[in-house]
Amino acid sequence: MKTSAFERMGSFSEKFSQQLRQLMGQRFQENVPLAAFTTYKTGGPARFFVEPTSAEEVLKLLTLAASEKVPTFILGGGSNLLVSDEGLAGLVIWTRRLKGITREETEVTAQAGVRLASLLKFCLKEQLGGLEFLTGIPGTVGGAAVTNAGLKTSWFSSRVKTVTVLTPEKQTTVGREEICFGYRYSSLTSTFVFSVQLQLLAEKPSLIHSRMVAFMRKRREKQPPPFGTAGSVFKNPPGHFAGELIERCGLKGYSLGGAQISPKHANIIVNTGQASSSEIWRLIQLVRERVKQQYNICLELEINCLGRFDESCGSGRR
């Protein structure tokens, strides 16, 4: 008989929950439905859910979870996430209260939970350019660093100077050259990104603003409205566009339950209202099978899957 992830957590959960309550007070909750925290609006409950406000608190949480062998998941804006309907049998650390942002000369240091929209607003006010390509991406600084968010030719990593990361009992600041960044990839995945120092350019606000408007206009032309999506589902395979391959398989607009391949952009899956994560996941599998059959190309996921899915999605990033 299959046991649920929560059942597998066993009896240690009561002790762990008491320790978290002591550490976090009201910023600790149990069995929190995660659908409210993902842009897909799907996903089951987090067994333990915390909202730290400082690096010290995060360090304590990571250390405690490691010593109790409780799996840890990091949640930013939830805009690149498919969370299992079964939920997450572990500790979810939500970064939204880590929102400090400072400027020194042409450098800006932003904590993990700063929304990209707030970062852009700050930069515009401070007359610092270089990040406008992030306009319309609904993530946080931590999520953008880890996924190396951006467009085809402009990546978050291009502005990164240093990143401060946390692991159990340790805070380290690493230089850009020590981090491996690639297409929607970074070597930061096994750490907690606490803050990022960005190297920007002093520019006229009118110029920065006009670039932001242009990026937003282009996004609106090409993509469906942002509600119920997590952006591009698949990475573009070398020499191809994932959306084009999916469209040529005749799947544009195809629905499975409440999950639909966007009629506007075939590399985007939309929750049309009542989709479950499992329906989105099954639609992803169907797309992969069809593209493999027709073009012998294995599409790699751009979105991150957390929790258990049938087959190989597993936990963590793909």
Rounded-to-integer distance, Cα 127 and Cα 124, Å:
5
Considering only residues 145 through 184, tell me which ones interact with ligand FAD, judged by CB under 6 A: 146-147, 149-151
- Using CA atoms, how far residue 120 sits from 56, 65, 128, in Å, is 27, 34, 9
Question: Among 42, 72, 79, 135, which residue sits at the site for ligand FAD (rule: CB under 6 A)?
Answer: 79
Active site residue 8: no
Question: Among 137, 249, 256, 291, which residue sits at the site for ligand FAD (rule: CB under 6 A)?
Answer: 137
Active site residue 302: yes
Residue among 84, 186, 232, 262 flagged as catalytic: 232
Is 317 a binding residue for ligand FAD by CB under 6 A? The answer is yes
Is 39 a binding residue for ligand FAD by CB under 6 A? The answer is yes
Is 91 a binding residue for ligand FAD by CB under 6 A? The answer is no
Question: Among 71, 100, 138, 168, which residue sits at the site for ligand FAD (rule: CB under 6 A)?
Answer: 138
8 A C-beta contact, residue 131 and residue 118? no
| Part in contact with ligand FAD (CB under 6 A); list of ranges 101-109, 224-232, 233-241, 242-250 | 224-232
Is 72 a binding residue for ligand FAD by CB under 6 A? The answer is no
Residue among 57, 132, 279, 302 flagged as catalytic: 302
Long-range contacts of 9-17 (CB under 8 A, 24+ apart): 9/47, 9/70, 9/89, 9/90, 12/68, 12/70, 13/47, 13/48, 15/68, 16/48, 16/64, 16/68, 16/70, 17/48
Residue among 184, 288, 290, 308 flagged as catalytic: 184
Question: Among 144, 208, 233, 261, which residue sits at the site for ligand FAD (rule: CB under 6 A)?
Answer: 144
DSSP bridge pairs for 82: 305
Task: Report the candidate in 184, 187, 177 with the shortest Cα–Cα distance to residue 137.
Answer: 184
Considering only residues 248 through 307, tell me which ones interact with ligand FAD, judged by CB under 6 A: 304
Is 95 a binding residue for ligand FAD by CB under 6 A? The answer is yes
Task: Report the candidate in 138, 143, 130, 131 with the shortest Cα–Cα distance to residue 93.
Answer: 143
Q: How far is the CB of 198 from ligand FAD (least distance, A)?
A: 14
| Part in contact with ligand FAD (CB under 6 A); list of ranges 2-10, 68-76, 84-92, 285-293 | 68-76
Which residues fall within 8 angstroms of residue 59, CB to CB, at 6 or more apart?
166, 168, 169, 170, 171
Q: Give residues in contact with ligand FAD (CB under 6 A).
A: 39, 73-81, 95, 112, 137-140, 142-144, 146-147, 149-151, 192-193, 226, 229-231, 304, 317
Catalytic positions: 184, 232, 302
